[in-house]
Every structure is written in structure tokens, then in C-alpha cells.
């Protein structure tokens, strides 16, 4: 009798637990559905990319930026008032063996977005359900960016993020530029990522950091695959409440109908083979104060309105360039997730990842060679960085590595 009662109790409590779980699931799916409805705007035209993405061509005036309460009456700036000028165009061909080639996006193979629209990568319910919560979808974790002089944050394993970067600090920076070659690093665990980017920074790390970021990334969690994608990010409070990747929240105002944020880029560099690179330029319009972004030499993509930021309403106090990976150390071993090409900087052109012609924009709107460039990496035996200077490449560096190896157990 006692045993039967116990069994009944067990059955009842198990089924209550199961019901709780499935209603929790239903709630999440419902939340995800609502969020999708907000993110995915009605399209004028949709394009099915060969990589599986859907690219929606959305009327410029219906883009996510205009969900922002402070953008309700905003007049879109169709072009920047100023464009930084410099001696180095940054697109000079290399004299170091085979020449890097220009790059585009996979979805162009299947169509283009009409004038007056912008291409937006459609978010799927699966994308959102992969995130820890609907709220965290499209956002970096707090403390996602490292202050190069305080390696203790990462060495005590609080964040598990590893970097190999160069940086300048202490000046007044109104923008930055770099040409980055593009790779397809292997990711060991779906919750890890590998990215290569520019950071434009102001404020205090971990507290009220303002950051504008752009580059390429492989992030199975965010996109559901291992494709290399062009991305942007912004935050005005150290990744806490504000900001997101791409157009996954309101903020960035896009004006360009050719490049989609978060879409795959193509082709990719190959080891000992052809090298493909992208040029990225971010600069502050001295008249309106907005931060503009250009992809390649001809695609002006749009801008982050000045009011999104606190410190960056004026200028940046630091710029970083380089790679970042997540090391989740599963099984107590260093991750084998690669950074850059997955090869160390010492291997050089054609084999290692590089940033070339790195430049900053000064207070007179000129592109300049950065001065007093620092380098930083938590564990050079896992991922390393080596900088240099030459005629064609200006200030450049090679960076990256394989992660786990005999010297990085
Ligand atoms: C937008 O314009 C309307 C009408 O002029 C005004 O009432 C409203 O306060 C404005 N909103 C913002 C956020 O400026
Ligand atoms: C991504 O690559 C890893 C190996 O690097 C593989 O195990 C995984 O299945 C791939 N994921 C997808 C979604 O293709």
C-alpha cells in the first residue's frame, strides 16, 4: 500500500513537472514568435541565398531603426557630410605574392534589392530559440571586450574570451579603418565563436563602455551554421541593456541596398591560396555627429546616430583591431576553436590572418597612421599577434592561431 502511494505520488509529480516544462516551452515559443514579428519587417522582395538565408528587401523607412522612440521623427541622412581623407587609399594591391581580391556576399548570386530598400537577413524562430533567452538573442555577454592592460579579467577565467589584438589609446579618435583578410576558422563548440574586427571605444570597461564594432565572424549560436559573416555591433553601456549585433535591435540606420549585415561573405581566403580581404571604415560625421560605416571602397552602409551614445557623442579614446574567440574549456582542455586562419602570425602572408593599412581618423577628418601601437594577447601559445610596417601595407599585423596545441593544452 505504502509503495503504491509512493509510486502514485511519483507519477503525479513527474507529470506535473512535464506539464510545467512544456508550458515553459510554449511560453518561449510564443515569446520568440512575438520577437520575430517585431524583427522581421514586411518585405518588398525576398531573396533565397544559396547558404540557406532569406534576405528580405525592406523599405528603408520600415527598417528596425525606426522602432527606436528617439528616431520616430528622424530624417534619414542619405549621405555623410564629410568623408575622411588620407594619403593611403587602403586598397593598394599587395606586393607580397598573390594579390588580395575583392569580396562580395553569397546572396548576390540570387538577386539584388531594389533602390529605396535595404537587405535584411531574416531571423528564424530557430535562431531565437538557440539563444539562452529571447532577451539575450543578438547580444554579446557583458564584459565581452577586454581592456588590453588588465589581463587578470581573462586569466582568472571569468569570461573565457581570448584575444590577439593591437590597439591605440589616450588620443582623440574620430574613426578607424583596416583591410582584413577573411577566413573560415573552425569552431569546436556551437556556443563558441571566432571573430575579427575593429572596436571604436569610449568610457569605462565593464561599466559604461561605448563601443562600435565591425568585422567578420563565425558564430554557430547566432546564425545556426559555420559560415563567415560580415557583422556590426554597438553598445552604450558595456553590453548590458543597450545594443546588439547587426539590425537585431533598433539603432543603426542603413541606407545601402547592396550589403546585408549578418550575411555570409564570399569568397574566403585559402591557406597557401588566394587571399580575399574586406576594407572597413568607421568615422564620425563632424557636422551631425553620427558614426558612419563603409564596407569596401564604395559601399557606404549607414550610420549609428550620435544620440545612441554617451562618450562617443564626442570622440573615441581607444581603438582596437584584432581577433577574439570564446574558450569554453570543455573537458578541462583549451578549446581548439581557431582564430583568423587558425595559423600563427609567424607563418605570414597567404597562411596567417592579417589586418593591413590600419589607420585612425583625427580631429581634422584625416586618415592617419596610428602612433604607439600596443599589442595584447592573453596566451601567445594559443593565439598570437605580430605587428609591422611597410610601404604598401602601412601599419599591419598578422594574428591568430589554432587554440589547443602541445603548447596550449
Ligand atoms: C515627433 O513629432 C511630433 C509632432 O511634431 C511630436 O509631437 C513628438 O513629440 C515628436 N517626437 C519626438 C521623439 O521627437
Ligand atoms: C560546424 O563545424 C563543426 C566542426 O568544426 C561541426 O561539428 C558542426 O556540425 C558544424 N555545424 C554546422 C551547423 O554545420
Q: For 78-95, what is each residue's pLDDT tens digit?
A: 999 999 987 444 444 333
Q: Collapsing DSSP states into helix, strand and coil, what is residue 280?
A: strand
Residue 28 falls within a domain, yes or no?
no
**Model pLDDT, residue 2:** 52
Q: At 17, which helix (H) or strand (E)?
A: helix 2-39
> Which position has the higher pLDDT, 155 or 339?
339
CA distances from 296 to 177, 227, 233, 383 (A): 10, 20, 18, 27
Residue 254 falls within a domain, yes or no?
yes
Distance 73 CA to ligand 1 centre (A): 6
**Model pLDDT, residue 144:** 66
State the maximum Cα–Cα separation within the chain, in Å, rounded to a whole number.
Answer: 90
**Model pLDDT, residue 145:** 72
Q: Whose CA is nearest to atom 14 of ligand 1?
A: 73
Quick: pLDDT tens for 278-291.
999 999 999 999 99
Residue 384 falls within a domain, yes or no?
yes
> Which position has the higher pLDDT, 297 or 194?
194
Mean pLDDT of the chain: 89
Split at pLDDT 50, 70, 90, the class of 12 is very low
**Model pLDDT, residue 172:** 97
Kindly name the residue from 192, 213, 320, 378 that is annotated as catalytic: 213
C-beta separation of 297 from 279 below 8 A? yes
Specify whether 324 is catalytic.
yes
CA distances from 281 to 84, 172, 245, 334, 358 (A): 9, 17, 17, 34, 10
Of 118, 175, 141, nearest in space to 294 by CA: 175
187 lines ligand 2 (CB under 6 A): yes
Lowest mean pLDDT among 17-26, 265-274, 362-371, 381-390: 17-26
37 lines ligand 1 (CB under 6 A): no
Mean pLDDT of 385-395: 96
- Domain of residue 77 covers 43-135+152-400
Residue 310 falls within a domain, yes or no?
yes
220 lines ligand 2 (CB under 6 A): yes
**Model pLDDT, residue 90:** 41
225 lines ligand 2 (CB under 6 A): yes
Specify whether 288 is catalytic.
no
pLDDT > 70: what percent of the chain?
A: 88
Lowest mean pLDDT among 24-33, 255-264, 362-371: 24-33
Q: Is the pLDDT of residue 11 over 50?
A: no
Q: Collapsing DSSP states into helix, strand and coil, what is residue 256?
A: coil
Q: Which atom of ligand 2 is nearest to the CA of 224?
A: 13
pLDDT > 90: what percent of the chain?
A: 77
C-alpha cell at 126: 530557430
**Model pLDDT, residue 91:** 42
Q: Whose CA is nearest to atom 2 of ligand 1?
A: 73
Distance 62 CA to ligand 1 centre (A): 18
Instruction: Give the Cα separation of 358 and 354 in Å (integer).
Output: 10
Residue 264 falls within a domain, yes or no?
yes
Residue 192 falls within a domain, yes or no?
yes
Quick: pLDDT tens for 148-174.
765 444 443 446 889 999 999 999 999
Mean pLDDT of 2-31: 61
Residue 363 falls within a domain, yes or no?
yes
Split at pLDDT 50, 70, 90, the class of 302 is very high
Mean pLDDT of 327-348: 95
72 lines ligand 1 (CB under 6 A): yes
Q: How many residues are given for the chain?
A: 409
Split at pLDDT 50, 70, 90, the class of 1 is very low
Distance 36 CA to ligand 1 centre (A): 27
Kindly name the residue from 324, 329, 371, 378 that is annotated as catalytic: 324
Lowest mean pLDDT among 191-195, 238-242, 272-276, 395-399: 238-242
> Which position has the higher pLDDT, 3 or 244?
244
Count up the domains in the chain and report the number: 1
Peptide bond into 102 cis (omega under 30): no
Q: Is the pLDDT of residue 98 over 80?
A: no
Instruction: Give the Cα separation of 405 and 382 in Å (integer).
Output: 7
Residue 208 falls within a domain, yes or no?
yes
**Model pLDDT, residue 248:** 97
Q: Whose CA is nearest to atom 14 of ligand 2?
A: 225
Ligand nearest to the CA of 66: 1
Split at pLDDT 50, 70, 90, the class of 103 is confident
Amino acid at each position: 500500500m505504502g509503495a503504491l502511494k509512493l509510486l502514485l505520488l511519483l507519477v503525479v509529480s513527474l507529470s506535473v513537472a512535464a506539464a510545467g516544462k512544456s508550458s515553459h516551452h510554449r511560453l518561449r515559443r510564443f515569446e520568440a514568435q512575438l520577437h520575430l514579428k517585431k524583427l522581421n519587417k514586411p518585405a518588398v522582395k525576398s531573396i533565397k541565398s544559396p547558404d540557406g538565408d532569406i534576405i528580405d528587401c525592406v523599405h528603408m523607412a520600415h527598417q528596425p531603426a525606426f522602432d527606436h522612440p528617439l528616431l520616430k521623427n528622424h530624417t534619414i541622412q542619405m549621405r555623410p557630410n564629410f568623408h575622411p581623407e588620407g594619403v593611403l587609399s587602403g586598397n593598394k594591391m599587395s606586393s607580397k605574392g598573390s594579390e588580395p581580391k575583392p569580396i562580395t556576399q553569397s546572396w548576390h548570386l540570387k538577386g539584388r534589392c531594389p533602390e529605396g530598400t535595404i537587405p535584411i537577413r531574416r531571423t528564424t524562430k530557430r535562431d531565437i530559440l538557440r539563444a539562452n533567452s529571447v532577451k539575450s538573442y543578438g547580444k554579446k555577454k557583458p564584459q565581452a571586450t577586454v581592456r588590453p592592460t588588465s589581463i587578470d579579467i581573462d586569466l582568472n577565467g571569468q569570461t573565457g574570451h581570448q584575444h590577439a589584438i593591437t590597439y591605440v589609446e589616450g588620443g582623440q579618435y574620430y574613426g578607424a579603418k583596416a583591410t582584413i583578410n577573411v577566413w573560415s576558422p573552425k569552431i569546436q563548440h556551437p556556443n563558441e565563436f571566432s571573430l575579427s574586427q575593429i572596436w571604436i571605444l569610449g568610457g569605462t570597461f565593464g561599466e559604461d563602455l561605448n563601443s562600435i564594432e565591425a568585422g567578420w565572424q563565425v558564430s554557430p549560436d547566432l546564425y545556426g551554421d559555420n559560415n563567415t559573416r560580415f557583422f556590426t555591433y554597438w553598445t552604450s553601456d558595456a553590453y548590458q541593456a543597450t545594443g546588439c549585433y547587426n539590425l537585431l535591435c533598433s539603432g543603426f540606420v542603413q541606407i545601402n541596398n547592396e550589403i546585408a549585415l549578418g550575411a555570409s561573405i564570399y569568397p574566403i581566403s585559402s591557406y597557401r591560396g588566394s587571399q580575399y580581404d574586406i576594407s572597413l571604415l568607421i568615422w564620425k560625421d563632424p557636422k551631425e555627429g553620427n558614426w558612419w560605416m563603409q564596407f569596401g571602397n564604395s559601399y557606404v552602409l549607414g550610420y549609428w546616430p550620435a544620440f545612441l551614445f554617451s562618450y562617443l557623442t564626442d570622440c573615441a579614446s581607444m581603438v582596437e583591431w584584432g581577433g577574439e574567440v570564446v574558450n569554453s574549456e570543455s573537458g578541462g582542455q583549451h578549446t581548439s576553436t581557431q582564430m583568423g586562419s587558425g595559423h600563427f602570425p609567424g607563418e605570414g602572408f597567404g597562411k596567417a590572418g592579417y589586418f593591413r593599412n590600419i589607420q585612425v581618423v583625427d580631429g581634422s577628418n584625416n586618415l592617419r597612421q596610428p602612433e604607439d601601437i600596443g599589442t595584447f594577447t592573453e596566451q601567445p601559445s594559443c593565439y598570437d599577434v605580430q605587428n609591422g610596417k611597410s610601404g604598401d601595407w602601412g601599419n599591419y599585423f598578422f594574428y591568430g592561431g589554432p587554440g589547443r596545441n602541445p603548447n596550449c593544452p
